[in-house]
Amino acid sequence: MDANPNPNANANPDEVRALLEKAGELERHGHFKEALEVYEKSLQVEERPEILQHLGNLYGDVGELDKAIQAFERCTEKVPEFPGGYGGLGLAYYRRARLPEAIEQFEKAIALDPDFITARYWLGIAHYHRGAFEAAVRVYQDLLEVAPDFTVAWYHLGVAAAQMGAHDETLHAFGKVLEQNPRSFVANYRCGLAHFHKGDLDAAIESFRTALDINPDHKRARENLRSLEDMRMRFS
């Protein structure tokens, strides 16, 4: 019988801590290859889920997605109740364009931690890129109930709502973006489109003018503004 069935039973926590500090320092200075080697070495001392998470994240960042997937799979197998493992695995699958699998992993992460903002964010992105705009809108609406100041989520909600033709939702979402950044070209431009589709020419013209004040060289915005001003003159 194995006298030591737990391979980490004799792990030295000080050694692991020192290795993780060294890996983190290397990563912060952009020495990713060396950081990966140190993370791998630390796993030989003790296979902790947070080390596997760091390793998976870094492999993903340097584009070694198969190794990232392997690290996150090991993480979820070792500690099935650790939401970070599923979130990282979902992101690796997303980067591999394996969207159904990414969605499954993000949903597992959220089930374990409903406040896992990053997993909710990427779940919405994955639904959007599958063309499931209604699902993406629901995800972002739920996310924004938890994190109402998450401006990027308001932006993506607006984009997904626009794809659905939900113009009121589009205007509401990009209005929230403009509260934080009134000089957002995209938000002003998107509001112009939404106002136009709702038949509000004056509001559309105002939004396109603001957008062009921010980016005078945007050809499509200038064409839209000219067309709307001509339309208003003909029907006034």
In a domain, 152, yes or no: yes
In a domain, 91, yes or no: no
- Please tell me the distance from the alpha carbon of residue 86 to that of residue 108, in angstroms, as a whole number: 6
- Please tell me the distance from the alpha carbon of residue 144 to that of residue 129, in angstroms, as a whole number: 20
Query: What is the residue type of 110?
Result: I
pLDDT at 236 exceeding the cut of 90: no
In a domain, 32, yes or no: no
Q: How confident is residue 2, by pLDDT bands cut at 50, 70 and 90? A: very low
Q: Domain count for the chain, please give it.
A: 1
In a domain, 163, yes or no: yes
In a domain, 126, yes or no: no
In a domain, 28, yes or no: no
In a domain, 95, yes or no: no
Q: What is the pTM of this model?
A: 0.86
180 contacts 151 by C-beta, under 8 angstroms: yes
For the stretch 108-130, pLDDT in tens is 999 999 999 999 999 999 999 99
Average pLDDT of every residue of the chain: 92
CATH label of the domain that carries residue 209: 1.25.40.10
For the stretch 162-190, pLDDT in tens is 999 999 999 999 999 999 999 999 999 99
**CA of residue 132 relative to chain centroid, distance:** 16
H helices within the chain, ranges in order?
Answer: 13-28, 32-45, 49-61, 65-78, 83-95, 99-112, 117-129, 133-146, 151-164, 167-180, 185-197, 201-214, 219-235
Q: Token digits for 140?
A: 């972002």
For the stretch 42-85, pLDDT in tens is 888 888 888 899 899 999 999 999 999 999 999 999 999 999 99
Domain span at 140: 131-236
65 contacts 59 by C-beta, under 8 angstroms: yes
In a domain, 16, yes or no: no
